[in-house]
Structure 1
Amino acid sequence: MSHRLATMIGLCAILLWASIVGLLRQVTEGFGPILGVCLIYSLSSIVLLILFKPPKLHLFHKTYLIWGSILFVSYELCLSLSLAFAQNSQQAVEVSILNYLWPSLTVLLLILTKEQKFHPWVIVGVLLTLLGIIQVQVGNGEFSIRQLTRNFATNPISYVLAFLGAFIWAAYCTVTKKIGNGQNAIALFFCLTAVALWLKYLWIGDFVIPEVEWHSYLYLVFSAAAFGLGYAAWNIGILHGNIQLLTAASYFTPIISSLIAMQLLSIELTWSFWQGAALVTGGSFLCWWSTRVRA
């Protein structure tokens, strides 16, 4: 496979992942928040097992399997349920921006664990990311603690899950870098996530199957494909393509994701939102760039 083709395939992975917010929201609106997420991760697990084959557990570091599983499953639960429990599509997109705090947090954790060297621009990047998140949450109103609190109080479970998810994913990335040895256990982790979601669904005991229109099934298939094919395309990209270009492009996912969600969910996003999304993207990119320059 040519270097250019592999890079293009890797860029397709970013587009697939960016579509997940909008697709997941469409599925959960049709099937309900818990059942919809259960179906997405179950079907995605099947796709990943077909693409990557069942992992040989004896080849993996036991510590990585334990901590990787716990962190990955926890993150996926936080991310998917934060979007599923959003009160409307507009709020789902706003909540998703909180998730993109993870790149800056990952850099900070890598510095704290001495995997990366500190650079002053990292602080600037983190502050830009936080400012962007605040801008998205405040909207067109003037900034105030009361305004932030009021926005949070409308749906605290979604915001807490999204915020917690960003910290968990940063921890997962740090653990993977330190003890993952470059091995791919994504199929196993997705299967464990699906099992955890079904256990939660059974525990709740709400077994009423809603009347679902045909397009919800279509979105379900697209969601599973976006997860599975996204990981497959990314693997090809980082193995055979331009990894620096792909890494840099991945930091623009918040903007791409919001654009796709706006079309899928038929919503209008304000200029204030785009300013906040741009600040989050710029802050994350600056954190990555500053550590890359220092290296």
Structure 2
Amino acid sequence: MTKRTATFIGFIAVLLWALLALFTVGAREVPALQLNAVCFAIGGTIGVIWTTASKRWHELKNVPLSIYAFGTVGLFGYHFLYFSALKAAPPAEAGLIAYLWPLLIVLFSGLLPGETLRPLHLVGAGLSFVGAALIVAKGASFSGGHMTGYLLASACALTWSSYSVISRRLGSVSSMVVTVYCLATAVLSLLAHLALEETVWPSSQAGWLSMIALGLGPVGAAFYVWDIGVKRGNIQLLGTASYAAPLLSTLVLVGAGIAEPRATLILSAVLITAGAGLAAFASRQTGS
């Protein structure tokens, strides 16, 4: 598999995450951790079917427990911190801070062996962040009274960026390990749900379909293709291109009639596209 192919496969995760808001709105009756448990159980099932069909269970036998623990902490930790941040601080502010993870991926990638971080990578990631902020931070007004939520959101961004970059160092480990990550995260989410939430199931067919769709795509298959992308693809370009997710997500909501179109969408699209273009150019200059 070439680096370009792996990068494209990784970007499929960004496209799937663009559907996260739509399906989450559809399944909004279900408490966050309960939804997490169901979706990761579905995501884990995808891995079980994939691994069985391809007869690749042997690739999981000699994987150290420390790697399984790492992946589980990455997936469960990110989502737990994210949901906690949204409860402790206004969604706009918490969402903006949490969405620093693509920029952190670009920054941290410079610490990886064989990777070259150029100024244009940083400029591109910064432009794309501004573009995403126009959407994510609508109406944001930071207050010292929500410092706990801001810290949780910061930890959230640090967790996912670290997970993605460290995964790059585990390039020799089969992406089938995501199966175990998902199943373990489902169990931890279930335990957290039982301890912190009241169980509520969807009251409509649309709600059930949304929950299943989340598990199949944004909170399922997305993690497998992301693992392939960050391990074998252009991680700087993937990090920058990830800022397309909130833009695409908003466009999907507009298309579904859930959100109103805004003039800032055009400016956001220009900034995100320009940022990704600069990152791609910088990568071509380094031959990565």
TM over 0.5: yes
Judged with a 3 Å threshold, the aligned counterparts in structure 2 of structure 1 residues 55 and 253 are, in CA distance, closer, same or farther, namely: farther
Change in CA separation of 1:189 and 1:118 when aligned onto 2, cut-off 3 Å: same
Equivalences for residues 172-251 of structure 1 within 5 A: 172-184=163-175, 185-204=177-196, 206-209=197-200, 212-226=203-217, 227-230=219-222
Task: Give the distance between the partners of 2:162 and 2:250, measured in 1 at CA.
Answer: 25
- Distance between the aligned counterparts of 1:66 and 1:79, measured in 2? 19
Matched, 1:293 2:254: no
- Partners of 2:104 and 2:7 lie apart in 1 by 26
Cα RMSD of the aligned pairs, angstroms, is 4.3
Which residue pairs with 1:76 in the alignment?
Answer: 79
Q: 1:81 to 1:50 in 2, by over 3 A?
A: farther
CA distance in 1, matches of 2:124, 2:276: 6
- The alpha-carbon deviation at position 217 of structure 1 amounts to 0.7
Question: Who is 1:166 aligned against?
Answer: 157
What secondary structure, in the 3-state scheme, does the structure 2 residue paired with 1:67 have?
helix
- The yes-or-no answer on 1:257 pairing with 2:249 is yes
TM-score, normalization: structure 1? 0.70
Paired letter, 1:15? L
Helix, strand or coil: the match of 2:44?
helix
**Residues in 2 aligned to 1:186 and 1:59: alpha-carbon distance in whole angstroms:** 15
Q: 1:88-129: CA deviations, max 9, x gaps?
A: 9xx57x865655533332121121344422312133224324
Q: Kindly report which structure 2 residues correspond to 1:99-110, keeping only aligned pairs within 5 A, or say none.
A: 100-110=99-109
- Residues 132 and 243 in structure 2, CA contact (< 8 A), matched pair in contact too: no
Change in CA separation of 1:25 and 1:138 when aligned onto 2, cut-off 3 Å: closer
Kindly tell me the number of residue pairs found equivalent between the two proteins.
274
For 1:72-151, what aligned pairs fall within 5 Å after superposition? 72-79=75-82, 100-136=99-135, 139=138, 148-149=141-142
Q: Deviations over 1:31-67 (max 9, x none)?
A: 2333223222222222332223467543325543333
TM-score (norm 2): 0.72
1:118-147 C-alpha deviation (Å, 9 max, x unpaired): 31213322432443354346648xxxxxx6
Percent identity over the alignment is 22
Q: 1:59 to 1:265 in 2, by over 3 A?
A: farther
Specify whether residues 125 and 139 from structure 1 end up closer, same or farther in structure 2 by C-alpha distance, changes over 3 A only.
same
> Which residue is 2:22 aligned to?
22
Task: Give the whole-Å Cα distance in 2 for the aligned partners of 1:11 and 1:137.
Answer: 20
**Which 5+ residue runs of structure 2 have no aligned equivalent?**
1-5
Aligned 8 A contact 1:135 1:276 in 2? yes
Q: Residue in 1 aligned with 2:3?
A: none
Q: Per-residue deviation at 1:80? A: 5.9
Cα distance 1:196–1:280, how it changes in 2: closer, same or farther (>3 A)?
farther
Distance in 2 (CA, whole Å) between partners of 1:105 and 1:243 is 15
Gaps of 5+ in 1: 1-5, 141-146
For 2:286 and 2:19, how far apart are their aligned partners in 1? 33
Q: 1:68 to 1:138 in 2, by over 3 A?
A: closer
